Structure 1
Amino acid sequence: MVATPLHLPTSAVLLLFFLEMELLCLVSPNPSIPAPLLHSLPAMVLPLYHFTPNSSSRTSSSSNPRRFLGRSESLSRPNARMSLHDDLLRNGYYTTRLWIGTPPQKFALIVDTGSTVTYVPCSSCKQCGRHQDPKFDPEASNTYQAVKCNIDCNCDNQRVNCIYERQYAEMSSSSGVLGEDLISFGNQSELPPQRAVFGCENFETGDLYSQPADGIMGLGRGDLSVVDQLVDKSVISDSFSLCYGGMDIGGGAMVLGGFSAPSDMVFTHSNPVRSPYYNIDLKEMHVAGKRLPLNPNVFDGKHGTVLDSGTTYAYLPEAAFLAFKDAIMKELNSLEQIRGPDPNYNDICFSTAGSDVSHPSDTFPAVDMVFGNGQKLTLSPENYLFRHSKVPGAYCLGIFQNGKDPTTLLGGIVVRNTLVTYDREHSKIGFWKTNCSELWERLNESVSPQPMPPASDQKNSTTEGMPTLAPNGAPPYALPGEQKIGKITFYMSLNISYTDLKPHITELAEFIAQELEVNTSQVHLLKFTTSGNDSLVRWAIFPAGSTDSISNTTAVDIISKLSEHHLKFPVMFGTYELLGWNVEPKVKRSWWQRSYLVILSMLGILVIALAVVGLWFMWKRRQQTVNPYKPVNVAVPEQELQPL
């Protein structure tokens, strides 16, 4: 087993490395090796993290999804284009949405390249936590079938159904029965629903019980992996890709299947034989252009260099970590070193007080990972740093020592804003630095040098199961030349509960104003509803100050930022989806509608004046009719003084 890392900051993780136990039905890839023997192979210990819930930064999709995915004509198989939600450090992992059954039942699943089974809570489960979606009800699906006990699987005590079991090092566990049903990937995907085997949970413990995410989507190598099942059916090519959002954004994208890789994508060999986990051929690391004085074999110990989407941070063997830390400290000797956010750990953190940290790359050095083929992947500061949660402008190293274990483990932090393609067919993994919130457009630009298509083709899009982004059916940027715009409204869905969002709704309005470059007074909350851990907010942008309309130039700029998902919010607001926007023209008003405020004001002044005059006459009349008091200094025998 791989040793547990010495340190995991509490800002992102509540669990330690997990052990995926191969205790469920597996068919041996080599008929000469019995299936039970496969279960006895050494297992890799990988981290599993806690979730607390989209900017999903969902990008505008095309009416022709395969164009944005850059699929070459030679790739005859479709692919599934899916969005990722949540944030790496705030939530600990990313989730995607799967629909299971007929009619479909929706689930939020952790994307995990270290797991080989996909499972969701079953309606029959009496030991399952409260997750963000209802449990799967097999009886409500007219396409569900239980996987009956056979020689290729582990069976329940009655030897009726196949079962699966997962046990984790931090004492979490998941177990249940195996079922088969239609799995759908959302209407952004060109891949139609497919029948697949998945786990229907009847028991879960530990953090698996307490996390809001419904379950796990297994992307690893194995017969029960979603990827393997789709490949075996020949519906997708043997490849998938993940793209994690940046430091302040979250969200991202996923593709099941292949597409034409960008010409400048960096590839490295991945050996499927040496380990059941996805590994890369890492040979060197450079800090600020200087090679670390390490033997290349340091990255080849035990399981080699493993890439795992379920891990938050990165963990290096002792020698590699000490060399990396010393090089970073040398480059940052001008910065003040401060304590980390959790006193229980000795985080290596730096204060940038007095420095301009709007662009961390101006302060922190670049780190290069050099592969065996000589190609290199350059890491930006966001790929090895995380923000200090208690000191503004401070950052901490997100790369730690992996105890005494010689395995190099690279988690999601290393590939933020990086498209990672797991090309299993050709035993290689590719990396392409990009803005994951704009992945589809960037992919289109990188593989299609032809002129961009008309806006109507590019921007009329739908989100997964949601209305179009241009509700009126018009191209988003085609506004009539001289139209007077009264307001712009839009719906926004956020992965944050009503309770968590309500106290910060004013802050969110301020961030929206900042991102749209309008005054805060122009941003108005129209409606606020909630469903489970999601909140739906309707906003309106009104004209500024004394003006009665929004100029076309300003409106187009606002609409562009909305429809292209350029709004960037702090991770405290979760991730967001733009569900629709609308431009409402300035309403032509009658003379009375334009002047009623002035008329009402004049009437009010007249009423007040008449009231003052009336009170004055009443006071004078009272003064004339009331008997005057007698002076108190006049002596009147046997007469009581008049009251003053």
Structure 2
Amino acid sequence: MRPGPTRMAGPQSPPIHAAVFLVFLLSSAVQLGPSKAGPLLAPPCKEGAHPPMILPLFLSYPNSSRTIPDSYHRHLQGSDKPNARMSLHDDLLLRGYYTTRLWIGTPPQKFALIVDTGSTVTYVPCSNCDKCGKHQDPNFQPELSSTYQPVKCNINCNCDNDGVQCVYDRHYAEMSTSSGVLSEDLVSFGNLSELPPQRAVFGCENVETGDLYSQHADGIMGMGRGDLSIMDQLVGKGVISDSFSLCYGGMEIGGGAMVLGGMSPPSDMVFTQSNPMRSPYYNIDLKELHVGGKPLALNPKVFDGKHGSILDSGTTYAYLPDEAFLAFKNAIMKEVQSLKQIHGPDPKYNDICFYGAGSEISQLSSSFPAVEFVFGNGQKLTLSPENYLFRHSKVRGAYCLGIFQNGRDSTTLLGGIVVRNTLVMYDREHSRIGFWKTNCSELWERLHLPSSAAPWVPPTSDKTKNHTNEVTANPSPMPPEVDNPEFQIGQITLDMSSSMNISDLKPRLGELAQFIVHQLDINIIQIHLLGINSMQNGSLIKWAIFPRVPGEYISKSSAKDIISQLSEHRVQLPDSFGSCQFTAWHVESQEKRRRWLKHNVLIVLALAVTFLAGLSVLVAWLLWRWRHHSLNAYKPVGVAIPERELQPL
């Protein structure tokens, strides 16, 4: 299997009294544990149901393999429980993973956590961890939280050597590990959530290795099935229904959303059975693969090996059993014979890449075939090219297969690439998974959700006042124009201060723009430098963010995501740019931008006319000089020059 972003874990052999945390490792070296022991938490409450929770997922820096916004008081359609809503900000193949923002403790300390359906434990680095890497946010400090409690050793957990506190230990397929102590505290889901903070058990890391040590994200948000899963804990308390949804952005526009809790599915959502008894992971009842409308000659049992066909948000690509992969590859090759096959971007891998389909994502469907998943109930999920291709990083307009051969076992592992621009509903209550093709960057508008803000304000205390201001400061509220349906956003202007002096900063403005683009999850063509001025303590830079397509406008969801990241100080820039801070931002209408463009176009035209007029004068003068020089040119010695006759006065 191609090494890369896999966050599916398997426990080491636990002692007889250990609670078994349902996890997975695509390797025969680690086996699944026995059935679960008794729950660590209170049993599920069937009454007093509330609507779903919606939480956003955010962008993180890349690592070798794999965002939470504010929430509004609202109910998703058809839900009778509160919801937690979170936005996703990322490019799956550049970053490798999506993260969401959680706040832990009183007052809350914020963390960027990888959303992982293949893990069951949520954990963050602890303040006493001397074997943890440098991550996006400061380590969790239990001593600063007035609501923190360690989970004491009991019959349902592994205990530390002193027999005092419960511990956890996780090993992942990419050979990274995490271990620490189990703790309990208030967990908050941000201002988009109508669900109030809830007490939950999480891991406080003491040791991390491999990708977990080097990644920018702080830790993992475990969404799998198991007593320690965030989902199981919230469902067990009866505060949300037993369902959650993920929606990843596409190849061209990243972002997306996560919803914790149930909601009414769109009428054309495609469902497949997901049998929790077949595997502890989120499996689907995959029976056939079609390429270009033609079924592959495969026995349906090929998709039912080992753990079956499973979805894992902690994995980037997709992996098929050998027989299915070879049939899929050959079918694709037959369909794209007009394209040129080229070498992949990394010489270490024999990637299958093609050139000649054009650089526009909208053109891919004319060159690459549609792929269909056919489920046991006869329903079909159609995959567009962006669901099985990734961009070649070195050749513009080239694309490579993002589906690989699973050489280790017969499991069909489907990572985030196959569900880009797809709302995936993990309906655990009815043992099914639903798929709905959509634009995930505009999910809320497409679901016709209202947007009246009523943010939850976290508590503060004097002893942690500075720390709280650091993690919860919100100096500029959401501009009211963003929620005005008549207001079309033409641009967002940003004021940014830096402690670097202007002479040192100017040569690096292009590099700085790249980092801002990376963090805000926008395209480099969208950001423009409006000006830079020197200040007493550094520099002031003014940026503008324009729509991706000239003449269009910025969607309300994109604007909210950008402003939420700025107001919550989630934009993390390298220290090499000095101390940077976004000091102000505001939105401007499409009409104002048109006037700005018109004004600038007129200026450019005037300058062009002036330049051309000046150029024509210069050319005329040069021609006159040349002719004058030719008539009075110096003649060599020995050439007779007849004297001119003097004209009478």
TM-score (norm 2): 0.69
Correspondence for 2:558:
565
Unaligned segments of structure 2, at least 5 residues: 29-58, 458-471, 497-504, 563-569, 573-581, 593-649
Correspondence for 1:634:
none
Correspondence for 1:321:
325
Q: Is the 8 A contact 1:129 1:210 kept in 2?
A: yes
Q: Secondary structure at the match of 1:438?
A: helix
Structure 1 residues 219 and 203, CA gap change in structure 2 (3 angstroms): same
Q: More relative contact order in 1 or in 2 (CA 8 Å, sep 6+)? A: 1
Shift of 1:203: 1.0
Q: Is the 8 A contact 1:313 1:411 kept in 2?
A: yes
Q: Secondary structure at the match of 1:444?
A: coil
Residue from 239, 242, 251 that aligns with 1:238? 242
Correspondence for 1:179:
183
Q: Is the 8 A contact 1:110 1:213 kept in 2?
A: yes
Shift of 1:85: 2.8
CA distance in 2, matches of 1:316, 1:474: 44
Correspondence for 1:606:
none
Structure 1 residues 336 and 474, CA gap change in structure 2 (3 angstroms): closer
1:295 and 2:285 aligned? no
1:115 and 2:122 aligned? no
Shift of 1:170: 4.2
Counterpart code for 2:116: D
Counterpart code for 2:530: H
Shift of 1:345: 1.3
Q: Is the 8 A contact 2:72 2:193 kept in 1?
A: no
Counterpart code for 1:176: G
Q: Is the 8 A contact 2:421 2:440 kept in 1?
A: yes
1:490 and 2:490 aligned? no
Spell out, residue by residue over 1:251-282, the C-alpha distance to the aligned partner (whole angstroms, 9 max, x if none).
22111111111111110000101111110000
Correspondence for 1:306:
310
Counterpart code for 1:524: L
Spell out, residue by residue over 1:389-410, the C-alpha distance to the aligned partner (whole angstroms, 9 max, x if none).
1111000000011015211110
Structure 1 residues 42 and 103, CA gap change in structure 2 (3 angstroms): closer
Shift of 1:204: 1.1
CA distance in 2, matches of 1:203, 1:292: 46
Q: Is the 8 A contact 2:516 2:571 kept in 1?
A: no
**Alignment RMSD (CA, Å):** 4.2
CA distance in 2, matches of 1:37, 1:509: 44
Structure 1 residues 489 and 109, CA gap change in structure 2 (3 angstroms): closer
Spell out, residue by residue over 1:148-187, the C-alpha distance to the aligned partner (whole angstroms, 9 max, x if none).
1111111111111111111234442111111100000000
Counterpart code for 1:565: S
Structure 1 residues 398 and 187, CA gap change in structure 2 (3 angstroms): same
Q: Secondary structure at the match of 2:442?
A: helix
Correspondence for 2:232:
228
Q: Secondary structure at the match of 2:220?
A: strand
Q: Is the 8 A contact 2:356 2:397 kept in 1?
A: yes
Shift of 1:346: 1.0
Structure 2 matches for 1:299-448, cutoff 5 A?
Answer: 299-352=303-356, 358-444=362-448
CA distance in 1, matches of 2:296, 2:377: 18
1:503 and 2:484 aligned? no
Residue from 211, 216, 222 that aligns with 2:215? 211
Aligned residue pairs: how many?
508
Correspondence for 1:524:
530
Structure 1 residues 201 and 538, CA gap change in structure 2 (3 angstroms): farther
Q: Is the 8 A contact 2:240 2:260 kept in 1?
A: yes
Spell out, residue by residue over 1:533-572, the C-alpha distance to the aligned partner (whole angstroms, 9 max, x if none).
xxx9853589xxxxxxxxxxx9xx9895263428999xxx
CA distance in 2, matches of 1:328, 1:104: 50
Structure 1 residues 263 and 168, CA gap change in structure 2 (3 angstroms): same
Q: Is the 8 A contact 1:245 1:251 kept in 2?
A: yes
CA distance in 2, matches of 1:541, 1:320: 44
Shift of 1:62: 8.6
Structure 1 residues 442 and 189, CA gap change in structure 2 (3 angstroms): same
Counterpart code for 1:304: G
Q: Is the 8 A contact 1:114 1:220 kept in 2?
A: yes
Percent identity, please: 62
1:45 and 2:26 aligned? yes
Structure 2 matches for 1:604-619, cutoff 5 A?
Answer: none
Q: Is the 8 A contact 1:176 1:201 kept in 2?
A: yes
Correspondence for 1:475:
484
Correspondence for 1:622:
none
CA distance in 2, matches of 1:52, 1:426: 36
Q: Is the 8 A contact 2:303 2:412 kept in 1?
A: yes
Counterpart code for 2:74: P
Counterpart code for 1:165: D
TM-score (norm 1): 0.70
